[in-house]
Amino acid sequence: MCSKLVIGDRCFIWGQRTYLMGVLNVTPDSFSDGGKFNTTSAALAQARAMVAAGADILDIGGQSTRPGAEQITIAEELERVLPILAAIRSEISVPISVDTTRALVAKASIEAGSDMINDISGGTFDSQMLPTVASLGVPIVLMHIRGTPQTMQQLTDYPDVMAEISRFLTKQIATAKTLGIEENKIIIDPGIGFAKNHEQNLEILRRLHSLKTLNSPILVGASRKSFIGRILNQPDPKARVWGTAAACCAAIFHGADILRVHDVQEMRDVSLVADALFRGQ
């Protein structure tokens, strides 16, 4: 694996410690925090708080990807993301990622100051995404999914979920490289909760290390997700912080490089202790 990546003006050295990507949903309908940060002032305050708590990257998303979420227009997505991105970029130097599946949104976001793209479709929803990212020269997260957020929970039948994830990501990495994205600018995400059932989400965490053969940094997004709620019998996503902590600890043990989280302060403590345990000499 290429051992480092410069995102914005920060150098990420893979394997030495776990990095935290703070989730900033600027949507009215995301599963755990919809409507909380969809004004510029609220989003900016949350961005400041996450950076103060130790976020290494901020991930801004204008389109909810929870199961069953309705697709919004490109104009709506741009209207949600760009003003908030501009406000955050004007005062925060931490790398900013934009969570989008659309090439036009990716291009406008990078031009407005974001540093990387996080595509839950692995570059499959928009045929122009990978060529656009290649032309912009920025890093991209390629995530595994089947179907769309509207249909994905009916598409969880796999003979071997990790083999399927590995096949998909291998193909998308090869396509990205063919289109001109540098290998060291590709980050992979197994897509916990995206066309995966309860048992499959647990299996991904147990077998995460098998994705190391793809030679890309691994991002894991387990934060507050429904499989944790099911284990805890906890319907409120915001009350799943300690369950998320356990999942994050497991992800670090099994090889995660980046954790995408809502509760940055708490997961910073988890990652510091887990790194001392699992990455110590």
Q: Which residues are catalytic?
A: 225, 260
Question: Hey, what are 54's tokens?
Answer: 């130790």
Burial of 198 (C-beta count, 10 Å sphere; 0-12/13-18/19+): middle
Residue 214 is classified by DSSP as G
CA pair distance 236, 218, nearest whole angstrom: 27
Q: Name the token pair of 190.
A: 């197994």
**DSSP string computed for 256-277:** -SEEEES-HHHHHHHHHHHHHH
The contacts of residue 9 (CB under 8 Å, 6+ apart) are 93
The amino acid that residue 146 corresponds to is: R
- Which phi and psi angles does 139 have, rounded to 5°? -70, 160
* Range 158-177 burial, b when 16+ CB lie within 10 A, else e: beebbeebbebbeebbeebe
